[in-house]
Protein backbone atom coordinates (compact mmCIF):
# COMPACT_ATOMS: atom_id res chain seq x y z
CA UNK A 1 0.00 0.00 0.00
CA UNK A 2 1.47 3.33 -0.97
CA UNK A 3 1.51 6.18 1.52
CA UNK A 4 -0.54 8.40 -0.76
CA UNK A 5 -3.53 6.04 -0.34
CA UNK A 6 -3.42 6.14 3.46
CA UNK A 7 -5.94 8.27 5.28
CA UNK A 8 -5.32 9.02 8.94
CA UNK A 9 -8.45 8.95 11.07
CA UNK A 10 -8.46 10.22 14.63
CA UNK A 11 -11.15 9.18 17.06
CA UNK A 12 -11.54 10.07 20.71
CA UNK A 13 -10.46 7.35 23.11
CA UNK A 14 -11.95 7.04 26.56
CA UNK A 15 -10.36 4.40 28.75
CA UNK A 16 -11.98 3.55 32.06
CA UNK A 17 -9.87 4.14 35.15
CA UNK A 18 -10.85 0.87 36.81
CA UNK A 19 -11.23 -2.13 34.58
CA UNK A 20 -10.72 -5.86 34.51
CA UNK A 21 -10.38 -8.45 31.78
CA UNK A 22 -13.50 -8.76 29.67
CA UNK A 23 -14.96 -12.11 28.70
CA UNK A 24 -13.67 -11.80 25.13
CA UNK A 25 -10.16 -10.95 26.39
CA UNK A 26 -10.21 -14.04 28.60
CA UNK A 27 -11.33 -16.21 25.68
CA UNK A 28 -8.78 -14.73 23.27
CA UNK A 29 -5.97 -15.26 25.79
CA UNK A 30 -7.05 -18.83 26.54
CA UNK A 31 -7.52 -19.85 22.88
CA UNK A 32 -4.73 -18.40 20.70
CA UNK A 33 -6.09 -20.02 17.51
CA UNK A 34 -9.40 -18.24 18.09
CA UNK A 35 -7.45 -15.00 18.45
CA UNK A 36 -5.56 -15.58 15.20
CA UNK A 37 -8.82 -16.29 13.36
CA UNK A 38 -10.48 -13.19 14.78
CA UNK A 39 -7.54 -10.97 13.82
CA UNK A 40 -7.46 -12.42 10.28
CA UNK A 41 -11.23 -11.95 9.91
CA UNK A 42 -11.11 -8.30 11.00
CA UNK A 43 -8.00 -7.72 8.87
CA UNK A 44 -9.79 -8.92 5.73
CA UNK A 45 -12.50 -6.29 6.02
CA UNK A 46 -12.07 -3.07 4.07
CA UNK A 47 -10.53 -0.14 5.92
CA UNK A 48 -13.80 1.78 5.59
CA UNK A 49 -15.85 -1.05 7.13
CA UNK A 50 -17.73 0.15 10.21
CA UNK A 51 -17.34 -3.29 11.78
CA UNK A 52 -13.55 -3.18 11.32
CA UNK A 53 -13.35 0.37 12.68
CA UNK A 54 -15.44 -0.58 15.71
CA UNK A 55 -13.39 -3.74 16.39
CA UNK A 56 -10.08 -1.90 16.12
CA UNK A 57 -11.34 0.98 18.24
CA UNK A 58 -12.56 -1.38 20.94
CA UNK A 59 -9.33 -3.37 20.78
CA UNK A 60 -7.26 -0.22 21.24
CA UNK A 61 -9.40 0.92 24.18
CA UNK A 62 -9.18 -2.50 25.86
CA UNK A 63 -5.43 -2.58 25.21
CA UNK A 64 -4.93 0.82 26.84
CA UNK A 65 -7.03 -0.23 29.83
CA UNK A 66 -5.02 -3.46 30.15
CA UNK A 67 -1.73 -1.53 29.94
CA UNK A 68 -2.95 0.89 32.62
CA UNK A 69 -3.68 -1.99 35.00
CA UNK A 70 -0.32 -3.59 34.04
CA UNK A 71 -1.93 -6.63 32.43
CA UNK A 72 0.51 -6.84 29.53
CA UNK A 73 -0.74 -10.21 28.24
CA UNK A 74 -4.19 -8.69 27.70
CA UNK A 75 -2.68 -5.46 26.34
CA UNK A 76 -1.00 -7.27 23.47
CA UNK A 77 -3.61 -9.97 22.77
CA UNK A 78 -3.81 -10.52 19.02
CA UNK A 79 -0.36 -9.07 18.32
CA UNK A 80 2.15 -11.16 16.40
CA UNK A 81 4.39 -13.02 18.92
CA UNK A 82 7.51 -11.56 17.26
CA UNK A 83 6.27 -7.97 17.29
CA UNK A 84 8.64 -5.05 17.71
CA UNK A 85 7.76 -1.98 19.73
CA UNK A 86 9.65 1.18 18.88
CA UNK A 87 9.19 4.03 21.36
CA UNK A 88 9.28 7.67 20.32
CA UNK A 89 12.59 8.97 18.99
CA UNK A 90 12.78 11.69 21.64
CA UNK A 91 12.60 9.11 24.45
CA UNK A 92 15.40 7.10 22.86
CA UNK A 93 17.59 10.14 22.23
CA UNK A 94 17.18 11.25 25.86
CA UNK A 95 18.34 7.80 27.00
CA UNK A 96 15.06 6.97 28.73
CA UNK A 97 14.35 3.78 26.75
CA UNK A 98 15.93 1.44 24.24
CA UNK A 99 15.29 1.96 20.53
CA UNK A 100 13.45 -1.36 20.03
CA UNK A 101 11.74 -3.97 22.18
CA UNK A 102 10.95 -7.41 20.72
CA UNK A 103 8.14 -9.73 21.78
CA UNK A 104 6.22 -9.82 25.04
CA UNK A 105 9.38 -10.05 27.17
CA UNK A 106 10.76 -6.94 25.50
CA UNK A 107 7.47 -5.16 25.99
CA UNK A 108 7.56 -6.14 29.68
CA UNK A 109 11.03 -4.54 29.93
CA UNK A 110 9.67 -1.39 28.29
CA UNK A 111 6.68 -1.22 30.69
CA UNK A 112 8.96 -1.80 33.68
CA UNK A 113 11.28 0.95 32.49
CA UNK A 114 8.37 3.34 32.00
CA UNK A 115 6.98 2.49 35.45
CA UNK A 116 10.36 3.19 37.08
CA UNK A 117 10.66 6.46 35.15
CA UNK A 118 7.20 7.53 36.34
CA UNK A 119 7.97 6.59 39.95
CA UNK A 120 11.20 8.59 39.90
CA UNK A 121 9.24 11.69 38.82
CA UNK A 122 6.88 11.47 41.80
Q: What CA–CA distance (Å, rounded) separates 96 from 99?
A: 10
Number of domains in the chain: 2
31 and 73 assigned to the same domain: yes
Q: What is the pTM of this model?
A: 0.73
- Do 67 and 56 fall within a single domain? yes
Q: Are residues 60 and 85 in the same domain?
A: no
CB atoms closer than 10 angstroms to residue 22: 14
User: How far, in Å, CA of 21 to CA of 72, rounded?
Assistant: 11
Digit-coded pLDDT (tens) for 60-111: 999 999 988 889 889 988 888 889 999 999 989 988 899 999 998 999 999 8
- Nearest 5°: the CA angle 52, 75, 55 is 10
CA–CA distance, 105 with 85 (Å, rounded to integer): 11
Amino acid sequence: MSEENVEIVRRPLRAREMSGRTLDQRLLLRFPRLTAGYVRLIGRLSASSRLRQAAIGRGVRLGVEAYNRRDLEAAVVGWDPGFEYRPGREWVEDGLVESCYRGLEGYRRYASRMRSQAESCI
